[in-house]
A and B are shown apart, each in its own frame.
Chain A
Amino acid sequence: MKGYRTLLASAAALAAMALSPAWAADPIKVGVALSQSGNLADSAEHYKKAVELWRDQVNGRGGLLGRQVEIVLYDDRSDPATAARLYERLITNDNVDLLVSPWGSASTATASAVAEKHKRVLINGGGASEKIHQRGFKYVFQTAAAISAYVEGVGPMMEKFGLKSLAFVSRDYSAARDMAVVIEKIAKDKKLEIVNSEYFPAGTSDFSSSIAKARQSNPDLWISVGYPNEAIEMIRQFRSSNYLPKMFIHNGASIDDFLEAAGKDGEYVIGMSLYEPILKTKGNAEFVKAFKDKFGYEPGYYSGFGYAAVSVLEEAVKKTGSLDQDKLRDTLRGLETDTVMGHHKVDPETGVQQGVKGLLVQIRNGKREIVYPDDLKTVEAVIPMPGWSER
């Protein structure tokens, strides 16, 4: 009987708390919808874990503005329309205080439109596309590295090693089309010759015709954007047809699968990367350790993106001293800070990320070493790659 009464009393107390207007000890609610199912679920999981790690850390430090932080999480099913609906719900129904974007550009594009409509600040931690920020939005700030960051090291590296020509051979999808524009601009600025620019459809596994072309036109650099299997297949087919450019860059080479699947043939291949656990950025060593202790593996770039997003959010809230969305927006427009991804700085007009630098990594002795930019590099790049017969 006594137990029953206690239960009743605590239930009443809980109900009273839920009904009472916000008071100082209420947790700050951070809303995020991200893929827990669908094609982005695998990568979004790592993004989510970084956000959860931050929540535990910030609560351990005594919370934000003296209040505990709580994450309100939904599954957008990797579907942009669902993402929009869920952000509507986070804002109007759950009355969350702060918003972090979904994982991936497509969902972020729709979620940011909803946030903008309600004049709510949204940290874009997972959408690389610059197009998200070309719609005149005033409340959306990018912490994710912009698409152009992926390839920005290409020009300086080619210049440094005296490379003059390149072939662009990419899977036909939107990220590659965006990057092609950036590469064309780099080629124009640095007076590099593009000897071949071609796309191949999804599902392509054989690169004989592109290799035959490259043997004829002999580009110094072969650069590709696509999936890790294509990076593996390209390097293996280079080897088996005894072809090698001076420099081979593929974004898939910075995924762990590549190291094992390509084995020794993968040595000296260069990958585009935005975050590496070995990066000497502010707080990164501590982040890697805490992440590994909690989840049992080293954080990759998906987790780096998530952690950078909430770090910037925390910094902005602290600096503003309140959750007022217009004041927060004003802070974010000029905020410069350092995260595990590097320096954070946005263009005040568009909110597009300008501070985070893209990295180039080279596979050396079975590990990724940073070779660009100079101030973050862990080894000097070996270019041209040693030929097959010299290894």
Chain B
Amino acid sequence: MPVLELLIAGILLGGLYALMACGLNLVFGVMRVINFAHGDLIAVGALTTVSIVAGYNLPFAVAIVVVPLLAAAIGLAMQVLVIRRIADGPMIMSLLATFALSTIIVNVSILIWGGGYRGLPGVLGGSFRFLGQDIALSRMVSFLVAMAATLGVWWFLQNTRFGRAIRSVSQAPELATINGISIDAVRNVTFALGAAMAGLAGVLLAPTFASDPQLGARFGIKCFAVIIVGGMGSYPGAMLAALLLGVIEVFSGYVMGQVIGSAILFLIMLTVLLVRPRGLLGLGVRA
């Protein structure tokens, strides 16, 4: 068994999962809203990237800047128009609302880009040698960005004034209000930031995967597995869970085939929900 090759492939795949799950985790951690449309924002990010790079022939760097901003704008619109009005209601309301938004985003995307598959040839396509292995350039970049984004968000929440404001809103909204923190402003920024991270994930998915309006359905479920196993709302937990799930998926796919390999991912998710619902390092769904 080529252990090193599988290990590296698993860690890099885990990096992608971490990147995709990061924004979802942020929004849940702060707002207790499960954003079902997160995967669809990733799809919009990937498709916009293809349009910018392959359609308008602009450099990939432009997409890295523009797409997260665009996604943030969409996220802010979702928050201001819909989520804000129901975020304090029962969780099922925001869950259903984001589910509806998900369907709308998918169908608008089909209207814009059509139902077919697109790709981004010629961007970060190659590989480099490291430890005697061929490492995918695109995966390495998205892994590094995922690490940076996760650490960045974590640092931001722990060490900045606004970060502390965000945490106080998520932990004690009444006290935050008394201290003059605008809950609405904090939530708007959080949701926009979460959406921007979905956009960024989309940008970095585009070089490796085929992009289509339904891409969110293929990856969204794995994002949920990551934040459930990691502990919803915990950033180091999600990172750890993403890497772990990536490695487990690749190894079990190699040993038992991909059908069983991907089932194992969800078996782990189920087991965590039953045995340790607060996840590896998490605040937990009961918090």
A367 interface residue (CB < 8 Å to B)? no
What total count of A-B pairs have CB within 8 Å?
A: 125
Q: When the two chains form their complex, are residues A239 and B217 in contact, meaning their CB atoms are under 8 A apart?
A: no
Q: When the two chains form their complex, are residues B212 and A200 in contact, meaning their CB atoms are under 8 A apart?
A: no
By CB atoms of chain A within 10 A, which of B120, B254, B258, B262 has the most?
A: B258
A211–B262 Cα distance when bound, in Å, is 16
How near does chain A come to B164, taking the closest CB pair, in angstroms? 38
Given A240-B137, A243-B134, A200:B259 Cβ within 8 A: yes
A242 interface residue (CB < 8 Å to B)? yes
Question: Of A199, A216, A257, which one neighbours B2 at CB under 8 angstroms?
Answer: A216
B180 interface residue (CB < 8 Å to A)? no
B interface footprint on A200-212 (CB within 8 Å = 1, 0 otherwise): 1101111011111
Stretch of A128-136, A150-158, A228-236, A345-353 with 4 or more beta carbons under 8 angstroms from chain B = A228-236
Q: When the two chains form their complex, are residues B218 and A205 in contact, meaning their CB atoms are under 8 A apart?
A: yes
User: In the assembled complex, which residues on chain B have CB atoms less than 8 Å from the CB atom of A229?
Assistant: 117, 209-210, 212
B121 interface residue (CB < 8 Å to A)? yes
Q: When the two chains form their complex, are residues A233 and B209 in contact, meaning their CB atoms are under 8 A apart?
A: yes
A63–B212 Cα distance when bound, in Å, is 44
A216–B4 Cα distance when bound, in Å, is 13
B99 interface residue (CB < 8 Å to A)? no
User: In the assembled complex, which residues on chain A have CB atoms less than 8 Å from the CB atom of B258?
Assistant: 198-201, 204, 209-210
Question: Of A203, A233, A240, A256, which one neighbours B125 at CB under 8 angstroms?
Answer: A240
User: In the assembled complex, which residues on chain B have CB atoms less than 8 Å from the CB atom of A228?
Assistant: 116-117, 210
A264 interface residue (CB < 8 Å to B)? yes
Question: Of A42, A209, A237, A266, which one neighbours B136 at CB under 8 angstroms?
Answer: A237
B 89-122 contacts with A by CB, 8 A: 115-122
A118 interface residue (CB < 8 Å to B)? no
Question: Of B2, B125, B137, B253, which one neighbours A210 at CB under 8 angstroms?
Answer: B253
Q: When the two chains form their complex, are residues A208 and B9 in contact, meaning their CB atoms are under 8 A apart?
A: yes
State how many residues of chain B have any CB contact under 8 Å with chain A.
44
A203–B136 Cα distance when bound, in Å, is 21
A1–B141 Cα distance when bound, in Å, is 81
Q: When the two chains form their complex, are residues A236 and B119 in contact, meaning their CB atoms are under 8 A apart?
A: yes
A365 interface residue (CB < 8 Å to B)? no
Interface range, A side: 35 or more
B198 interface residue (CB < 8 Å to A)? no
Q: When the two chains form their complex, are residues A240 and B126 in contact, meaning their CB atoms are under 8 A apart?
A: yes
How near does chain B come to A302, taking the closest CB pair, in angstroms? 14
B51 interface residue (CB < 8 Å to A)? no
B72 interface residue (CB < 8 Å to A)? no
A 225-269 contacts with B by CB, 8 A: 228-230, 232-233, 236-237, 239-243, 256-258, 260-266
B139 interface residue (CB < 8 Å to A)? yes
Question: Of A198, A232, A242, A264, which one neighbours B122 at CB under 8 angstroms?
Answer: A264
B interface footprint on A102-138 (CB within 8 Å = 1, 0 otherwise): 0000000000000000000000000000000000000
A292 interface residue (CB < 8 Å to B)? no
How near does chain B come to A6, taking the closest CB pair, in angstroms? 46
Given A203-B217, A204-B262, A228-B210, A209:B253 Cβ within 8 A: yes
How near does chain B come to A148, taking the closest CB pair, in angstroms? 25
A327 interface residue (CB < 8 Å to B)? no
User: In the assembled complex, which residues on chain B have CB atoms less than 8 Å from the CB atom of A230?
Assistant: 210
A188 interface residue (CB < 8 Å to B)? no
How near does chain A come to B158, taking the closest CB pair, in angstroms? 32
Given A204-B262, A212-B5, A232-B119, A237:B208 Cβ within 8 A: yes
A326 interface residue (CB < 8 Å to B)? no
A213 interface residue (CB < 8 Å to B)? yes
Given A203-B218, A210-B253, A242:B127 Cβ within 8 A: yes
Q: When the two chains form their complex, are residues B136 and A240 in contact, meaning their CB atoms are under 8 A apart?
A: yes
Nearest B residue to A172 by beta-carbon distance?
B259
User: In the assembled complex, which residues on chain A have CB atoms less than 8 Å from the CB atom of B115?
Assistant: 42
User: In the assembled complex, which residues on chain B have CB atoms less than 8 Å from the CB atom of A206?
Assistant: 13, 249-250
Q: When the two chains form their complex, are residues A205 and B259 in contact, meaning their CB atoms are under 8 A apart?
A: no
Q: When the two chains form their complex, are residues A257 and B117 in contact, meaning their CB atoms are under 8 A apart?
A: yes
Q: When the two chains form their complex, are residues B259 and A257 in contact, meaning their CB atoms are under 8 A apart?
A: no
Nearest B residue to A239 by beta-carbon distance?
B125
User: In the assembled complex, which residues on chain B have CB atoms less than 8 Å from the CB atom of A243?
Assistant: 134
Q: When the two chains form their complex, are residues B210 and A261 in contact, meaning their CB atoms are under 8 A apart?
A: yes
User: In the assembled complex, which residues on chain A have CB atoms less than 8 Å from the CB atom of B137?
Assistant: 240
A239–B126 Cα distance when bound, in Å, is 6
Q: When the two chains form their complex, are residues B118 and A233 in contact, meaning their CB atoms are under 8 A apart?
A: no
B interface footprint on A289-300 (CB within 8 Å = 1, 0 otherwise): 000000000000
A13–B258 Cα distance when bound, in Å, is 68
A263–B2 Cα distance when bound, in Å, is 30
Where the two chains meet, the residues of B that have a C-beta atom closer than 8 Å to any C-beta of A are 2, 5-6, 9-10, 13, 54, 115-122, 124-127, 134, 136-139, 207-210, 212, 217-219, 221, 249-251, 253-254, 257-259, 261-263
Would you list the 7 A-B pairs with minimal beta carbon distance, nearest first? A263-B121, A261-B119, A209-B253, A240-B136, A229-B210, A208-B9, A242-B134
- Given A200-B262, A240-B137, A261-B117, 11 additional A-B pairs, CB 8 A: A200-B259, A201-B259, A201-B262, A203-B217, A206-B250, A208-B250, A229-B212, A232-B117, A240-B126, A257-B117, A266-B121
List, sorted by A's number, 9 A–B pairs whose CB atoms are closer than 8 Å: A206-B249, A208-B13, A209-B249, A209-B254, A229-B209, A236-B208, A240-B139, A261-B120, A388-B126
